[in-house]
Amino acid sequence: MTKDELKSEILRHLAFSFGKDAAHAQTRDWRMALSLAIRDRVVTPWFESTRKTYEGRHKRVYYLSMEFLIGRLLQDAIVNLGLDDAAREACLELGLSYDQVLADEPDAALGNGGLGRLAACFLDSLSTLGIPAYGYGIRYEHGLFRQSFHEGRQVEQAEDWLSQPHPWEFERPEVCYGVGFYGTVREGEDGAHWDAGDMVVAKAYDTPIIGWQGRWANTLRLWSAQSRTQFDLARFNEGQFAGAAEPEALARTISRVLYPNDSTPQGKELRLKQEYFFTAASLADILRRYHSEYTDIRALPKHVAIQLNDTHPAIAGPELVRILHDEHWVELDDAIEIARGTLNYTNHTLLPEALESWHEGLMRHLLPRHMRLIEQIDDWHARTSKGRKMSTIDHGQVKMGELSFVLANKVNGVSALHTDLMKKTVFSELHTLHPDRILNQTNGITPRRWLRTCNPTLSALITDTIGSGWEDDLDRLEDLEAHVGDAGFRAAFAEAKHANKARLANRIRAIRGVSIDPDAMFDIQVKRIHEYKRQLMNVLEVIALWDAIRRNPGKDWTPRVKIFGGKAAPGYHTAKEIVHLINDVARVVNADEDVAGRLTVVFPPNYNVTMAERLVPAADLSQQISTAGKEASGTGNMKFALNGALTIGTLDGANVEIRERVGDDNFFLFGMTADEVVERRAVPDHAAEAIAASPELARAIEHIERGSFGPGEPDRHRHLANLLRHHDYFLVCSDFASYWKVSREVDEAYRDRDRWTRMAALNTARSGWFSSDRTIRGYAEEIWGATPAI
C-alpha cells in the first residue's frame, strides 16, 4: 500500500465511517480513520488464515487467560504490516503529527502485569509463527485502575478504555453462549443433570492479531457478559425504573472490572464467577468449532491443545469432563483422560498467598456439578496414580494448582530456576508421582513491540549493521557481536541510547516538571509494587546515597537518575506505603541543592505498557532485585537487556538465564541465592545483624525513623522501618550490603563510558534467545504438538 492509497483510505473512512469533514476532524477522528484504514489491511490475511487452518485440518491452540495486557494496537499493526513510512508520510501530508495521532489511543489494560503482558507477547508470536491459535479472555469494561498521586499517596480511579469506540474489535452478536450458575444436580438413571439456577449470556468480541509482515492473523476472542432476560417493560411501566434494569446490570457485573476486590465474600464469588464465565464460554466455542469439523469427540487431544494461563481458568478441567461425561455420555474415566490429554497448565508463582484456592462451600454453591466432579477427579487420581486422596481438596479448600496439575498433559514453569523450585516445593509430591509432567518454558518478549517499534533508533542501527530480518529471527542479533570491537559501532550505539534518553528527559520535564540530565545514568525499576520485588531496597539505596553525598559533597559522584514506576494493588497496604515513601524521598532529594545534578528521583504515575515502551529504550541500568526464589521469571528484565541496559540483579527467575547468556562480566550480580535465602531466614535476628553490619543501611533506616521524609509527621513511615527491623521476610536488610557495594561498582563502571557501551551492546547482541518466538516454538513442540500452517 502506498502513502497515497493510505491517505485516500483515511479520508474515505473519515467521511464514510465517521461522517467527518477533514476541515473539522479532531485528532481522535483521524486516529479512528487511520485505525480503520489499517484494520482493512488485516482482514484479508485474517480470513486467509482461517481458511488455511480449515483446509489443512491443522491442530488449533487455545490460550485461555484472564488477562491480556495488550496496550496500544495501532502502531503495532502498522509496523507488522510494514506501513510505518507510509503512515507517517500520509499523516504529514494531511497536516497531522503522526506521533500525536498514535498517542491518542488508550491502552487496552486488560491485565495486571507480567502474566497479562506475557499473554499479549504470545499472541504476537503465535501469529508471527503462523500457528493457528485463539486467545480467549474477558472484555472488561474497566481495565487496570488509573494511578495518580495525592500528596505522595496512591489514588486509584476507574479506567474506562471503552468510553470511546474500540476500532480493533468486531462485535459478534451471533456468537453467544449461556453460562449457568448455582442450582441443583439431579442424579437420574442416565447420569447427572445440572439444573442451573441462574444464567448469563457470554457474547463474543473478536480482535484480529496480525503477525510480522502480515503473513498470518489469529483471533483474540473476548467475552462480555449480558443478561439472558429481556428488558422488563412491565416493571418499568409500573414505575420501577431501576428494578427493570437490574437483571442487565447484575449480569454485566461479571465483565465489568479486572480483578475485583476479593476481600469480601461477594468479591470472592464474583471472581470465581468471572473465571467460570469465560472458561465455560470458551470451551463451548472450542467444542462448537470442533464439532463442525470432526465427529469423534475422543480425538479431541489430537486436534486441540488448550493452555491454561495460571490457574484462573482451572475450572476448564471439571467443565470439560462435565461436557464429555454429562452431554456426550463418555465414561467418566475416559472423559477425564480426554480432558487431561487436551489441557496444559502454566504456573507463574510460588508465593503461597498467590496460589489460588476456593472454599469448597462456595464452589458447591456456585457450581454444584463441578464440585461433585472435582471429588470424583480426586478419587480417580488416587486410584490411578498411587496418589493419596485429598490432593485437590484440602481442609475444605479446593486447590486450583493441584487440580490443574492433575488434569494437565504438561505443566510448565516460566524460567529454569522457577521450574526447578516448582518440582522441589509446591508440586513436589505430584512431581514424584508424575515425573514427566513438569517442564520448563522460559518466558520471552516480542521483539516487534519491544525493540523494533519502541526503539526505532537502535533498530535502525541494528539493521544498518547486520541487515534486516532480525525481527522474526532474533538469534541474528549475535551477528552484532563481531561489531562490538569497532569503535564506530560503539559510538553509534551510545548515540542511539543518548537520543532515547534525551527524548525521555523531555517528556519527564513536560509531565513532571523535573529536569534530568541525559548524561546521568538512568537507573530504572518498573514493575508492580510488591515486597518481594523489593522497591523498598532500592529506595533505601536512594536514601543511603543521598546521605553519603551530603556527607562527602566534594567527591566526584557518578550522577544518577533513579526512575520508579508501578502500581500497588488497591488492598495491599504495605505496597502503598512503599509508593508513599518513594514519593516523599523524591520530594526531599530533588529539593536538596547539595545533591542537585548528582541524584534525582522520578516516579511518574500510572505506569503502563505505553510508558514501558518509552522507558525501556532509555535505560542504562535495569533493577531486577527480587528476593531470590520469589520472582517466577520476570520479562521486564529481558526487555531492558535487549535494549542495551545493564542489569543489577539477584539470581532469581530469568535473571539467571540472562546472566548466563550475556556473560557474568556484563551483569552486576549481588545478593543471596535461593538456597541461601532459605537458610538466612532461619537465623534469629537476621535483620538486626545486617543493620549492625552496614552503616549505610543503619543510617538510611534511622532517617526514616527520624521523620526525614515525613515533614511535620515524623512517624509517617515508621511502619516500614519496623517492618525492616522486625519482620524482614524478604531479606531486604540481609541483601543490602551486597547491593550497596555492587551499586558503587556500577557507578565506577559507568565512568568508563566506552567500556559501559561495550557491555551494553553485548547485552543486546546476546539477548536474542529471549524472543517470545523461541518460547512459543518450545510450547508448540514440547507441549501442544502444533505446527505452523505457513
Give the footprint of ligand F58 on this chain (CB under 6 A): 112-115, 118, 259, 348-349, 414, 443, 631-635, 653
Catalytic residue among 20, 639, 703, 766: 639
Task: Please give the Cα distance from 747 to 318 (Å, whole number).
Answer: 55
DSSP alpha helix (H) spans, 608-731: 609-615, 636-642, 655-662, 674-681, 686-693, 695-706, 718-726
Is 549 or 632 the residue whose CB approaches ligand F58 more closely? 632
Is 113 or 143 the residue whose CB approaches ligand F58 more closely? 113
Is 123 or 458 the residue whose CB approaches ligand F58 more closely? 123
Report in angstroms how near the CB of residue 574 gets to ligand F58 at its nearest.
Answer: 16
Please give the DSSP secondary-structure letter assigned to residue 445: B
Catalytic residue among 215, 312, 533, 598: 533
Report in angstroms how near the CB of residue 488 gets to ligand F58 at its nearest.
Answer: 37
Report in angstroms how near the CB of residue 69 gets to ligand F58 at its nearest.
Answer: 9
Is 527 among the catalytic positions? yes
Report in angstroms how near the CB of residue 355 gets to ligand F58 at its nearest.
Answer: 11
Is 268 among the catalytic positions? no
Cβ neighbors of 256 (< 8 A, separation 6 or more) are 140, 141, 142
Cβ neighbors of 237 (< 8 A, separation 6 or more) are none
Report in angstroms how near the CB of residue 262 gets to ligand F58 at its nearest.
Answer: 9
Checking phi first, is residue 152 left (phi over 0); if not, alpha (psi -120 to 50) or beta? Answer: left
Report in angstroms how near the CB of residue 631 gets to ligand F58 at its nearest.
Answer: 5
| Distances in whole angstroms, Cα of residue 597 to Cα of each of 549, 600, 752 | 11, 7, 19
Please give the DSSP secondary-structure letter assigned to residue 325: I
Is 162 or 569 the residue whose CB approaches ligand F58 more closely? 569
Residue bearing cell 530456576: 417
Report in angstroms how near the CB of residue 770 gets to ligand F58 at its nearest.
Answer: 11
Q: What angle do CA 447, 99, 611 make, to 5 degrees?
A: 55
Is 399 among the catalytic positions? no
Helix axes 27-55 and 3-16, enclosed angle (nearest 10): 110
Task: Please give the Cα distance from 177 to 335 (Å, whole number).
Answer: 22
Is 247 or 566 the residue whose CB approaches ligand F58 more closely? 566
Q: Which of 71, 99, 70, 1 is CA-nearest to residue 42?
A: 1
Catalytic residue among 88, 348, 369, 758: 348
Is 325 among the catalytic positions? no
Catalytic residue among 527, 576, 580, 717: 527
Is 525 or 635 the residue whose CB approaches ligand F58 more closely? 635
Is 634 or 768 the residue whose CB approaches ligand F58 more closely? 634
Task: Please give the Cα distance from 701 to 698 (Å, whole number).
Answer: 5
Report in angstroms how near the CB of residue 327 gets to ligand F58 at its nearest.
Answer: 31
In single-letter form, the type of residue at position 79 comes to V
- Answer for the pair 631, 659: CB distance below 8 angstroms, yes or no: no
Cβ neighbors of 718 (< 8 A, separation 6 or more) are 704, 705
In single-letter form, the type of residue at position 204 comes to A
Report in angstroms how near the CB of residue 654 gets to ligand F58 at its nearest.
Answer: 7
Task: Please give the Cα distance from 645 to 612 (Å, whole number).
Answer: 14
Report in angstroms how near the CB of residue 404 gets to ligand F58 at its nearest.
Answer: 14
In angstroms, what is the C-alpha Rg of the chain? 27
Cβ neighbors of 202 (< 8 A, separation 6 or more) are 176, 177, 178, 179, 223, 224, 225, 226, 277, 278, 280, 281
Report in angstroms how near the CB of residue 608 gets to ligand F58 at its nearest.
Answer: 14
Is 54 or 729 the residue whose CB approaches ligand F58 more closely? 729
Is 44 among the catalytic positions? no
Q: What is the dihedral of CA 735, 738, 740, 741, to 10 degrees?
A: 180
Q: What angle do CA 85, 88, 92 make, to 5 degrees?
A: 135
- Cell readout for 559 is 550522577
Q: Which of 320, 446, 333 is CA-nearest to residue 64?
A: 320
Is 430 or 632 the residue whose CB approaches ligand F58 more closely? 632
Q: Please report the beta strands in 261-382, taking only residues with DSSP state E, as ranges in sequence order.
A: 304-309, 343-346, 357-359
Closest residue to ligand F58: CB criterion: 114
Is 297 or 400 the residue whose CB approaches ligand F58 more closely? 400
Task: Please give the Cα distance from 61 to 777 (Å, whole number).
Answer: 12
Report in angstroms how near the CB of residue 117 gets to ligand F58 at its nearest.
Answer: 7
Other Cβ atoms less than 10 A from the Cβ of 507: the count is: 15
Cβ neighbourhood burial of 106 (10 Å; 0-12, 13-18, 19+): middle
Is 533 among the catalytic positions? yes
Other Cβ atoms less than 10 A from the Cβ of 731: the count is: 23
Q: Which of 732, 738, 748 is CA-nearest to residue 670?
A: 738
Is 53 or 112 the residue whose CB approaches ligand F58 more closely? 112
Catalytic residue among 219, 392, 627, 635: 635
Is 301 or 634 the residue whose CB approaches ligand F58 more closely? 634
Catalytic residue among 528, 587, 681, 777: 528
Cβ neighbors of 753 (< 8 A, separation 6 or more) are 494
Task: Please give the Cα distance from 649 to 771 (Å, whole number).
Answer: 20
Active-site residue numbers? 348, 527-528, 533, 635, 639
